[in-house]
Amino acid sequence: MGTAREKGRSGFLPVTEGGSSASPPPRHRRSIAWLALAAAGLALMLLGAQWARRAFDTVLVLTDIGAGTGPSLLKELTPPPVRAAVRYPGNGGVLEADLYLPGQGPPRAGVVLVPGVVPLGNRDPRLVAFAQTLARAGFAVLAPQMPGYQELQVRPTDIGVVAAAFRFLAAHPRWAPQGRAGMVAFSYAVGFAVLAGLQPDIRDQVRFIVGIGGYYDLNDVVTYATTGYFQMGGRWVLRQPDSYGKWVFLESSRPYLDSANDRSLLGEMARMKLENPHADIAPLTQRLGPEGASVYRLLANTDPAKAPARIAALPKPIRAVMDALTLNNKNLHTLHARLILVAGEDDGIVPYDQSLRLARAVPPGHARVFIIHRVLGHVELRIARVFRWSFWREDLPDVQRLYAAIRLLLAEQQARRPLP
């Protein structure tokens, strides 16, 4: 306890010269009371205005994401973003990316935006539209070119591409003011972002990672892609998987096969199936050697109990790539970034339990997970029109979850917050 004079200097009570408390006269007390009420009312009005503005901004972003390249209120209220091609060092060479900046005013935070495995990569129209939404919302957005995507291949070097993009972004304070920088990643790229965020030289700088449709255990994702089964609460759940994930795995495996004949045959099989899911590839499978046959036997398997043995029978270089890219064998308690994870319950490529497991693997308080039941597939939104009854009955709860996730992302633009 301090003296009355010490308390006066701390701002608690005015004191007399002798150190005793001096009570203000009644009129003065009434003035103080009115001032206090006025200050409280003004504070409530300001807080209400700030809350309303944050809510309005969140709705603008959500509706613009749903609109894609179509019209939206956010597009009406903001000038088009500025896009520029940039080059920067990384992975022992020079990398390329597209940089999006707000059309008016400085960025409030920066993000590295990493697409899922699609042939057009950072130039895919859906990713471009999303990047422009983020830029209109006040982010500096760096979308790196992923070298293997044109061949539908994921590689361990993809981690270095993402890490280099973040270093480049974070090195420019005008793009990441006061260190406000993070990543937004889709599908398999969520793993690349998390692994990049573990790298010691940027671990303290990556403030947040938003992951849509991300994975945790690649063995389980491959099992789901080939059989349709994943485990939830200790029991097998069967869904209809999207065959696209299966053929991405095949394409990613081909470079690690010694046999040129097997590489060629598997590539032809993937091309045929991607063009026509009902194409007959049986004649090609009969010409495969031992390496290619091990890959095909895994892809043709429909029994989840047999999947571990089929994965173990893959050539060692393929299993080494899977070990490098999976997250379940990494110490994720060293991750400093906050995770905002969004997953579709009926995702046909990565089952939603992967996001739940990833959240449990990071330090407590570092992750928020939003499971979207109807309006999100793998990474694509499908929201009914608001005047339809199905929107209010079925879609609205999902929209509220998406709203909460977007609001957390926009909160990263505020004054630098300490990590949990």
85 and 213, same domain (yes or no): yes
- pLDDT at position 385 is 47
Report the mean per-residue pLDDT for the chain: 85
Contact assessment for residue 142 and residue 97, using Cβ atoms and an 8 Å cutoff:
yes
Taking residues 69-92, what's their average pLDDT?
Answer: 93
- Distance in angstroms between the alpha carbons of the first and the last residue of the chain: 32
Domain boundary among 308, 324, 340: 324
Q: In the predicted model, is pLDDT for residue 380 greater than 70?
A: no
Do 351 and 282 share a structural domain?
A: no
Judge if 209 and 334 occupy the same domain: yes
- The pLDDT value given to residue 399: 83
* Band (335; pLDDT cuts 50, 70, 90): very high
Q: Is residue 381 part of a domain?
A: yes
Domain-embedded: residue 278: yes
Phi, psi of 263 (to 5 degrees): -60, -45
As a whole number of angstroms, the distance between CA 234 and CA 68 comes to 38
- Residue 7's pLDDT band (cuts 50, 70, 90): very low
CA-wise closest residue to 352 among 227, 203, 239: 239
Q: Are residues 103 and 208 located together in one domain of the fold?
A: yes
- Average pLDDT score over residue span 311-331: 97
Same domain, 105 and 119: yes
- Model confidence band, residue 410 (pLDDT cutoffs 50, 70, 90): very high
Domain contains 28: no
Note the Cα 32 to chain centre separation in Å: 50
**Helical axes 218-227 vs 243-253, angle rounded to 10°:** 120
Q: What CA–CA distance (Å, rounded) separates 148 from 146?
A: 6
What pLDDT sits at residue 394?
65
Together in a domain, 281 and 212: no
Both 93 and 213 in one domain: the answer is: yes
Same domain, 315 and 342: no
- Asked if residue 334 and residue 284 are part of one domain, the reply reads no
Question: Is residue 416 domain-resident?
Answer: no
pLDDT in tens, 237-252: 999 888 888 888 998 8
Residue 46 lies in a domain: no
CA distance 22 to 19: 9
419 within a domain of the structure (yes/no): no
Whether residue 89 sits in one domain with residue 207: yes
The average pLDDT across 16-31 equals 45
Domain end among 324, 357, 380: 324
List, for residues 49-79, the tens digit of each pLDDT value.
Answer: 666 778 888 888 988 888 888 898 999 999 9
CATH number at 151 reads 3.40.50.1820
Residue at 232 is within a domain: yes
Is 407:58 a contact under the CB 8 Å cutoff?
yes
Q: What is the pLDDT of residue 233?
A: 85
**Full domain range(s) for residue 380:** 80-217+326-411
The domain boundary, picked from 279, 301, 324, lies at: 324
* Least confident span in 94-103, 134-143, 213-222, 266-275: 266-275
Residue 251 and residue 228 in one domain = yes
- The amino acid that residue 176 corresponds to is A
What is the structure's pLDDT at 112? 98
Q: How many structural domains are present in the chain? A: 2
User: pTM for the complete prediction?
Assistant: 0.84
In a domain, 233, yes or no: yes
Residues 173, 268 within the same domain: no
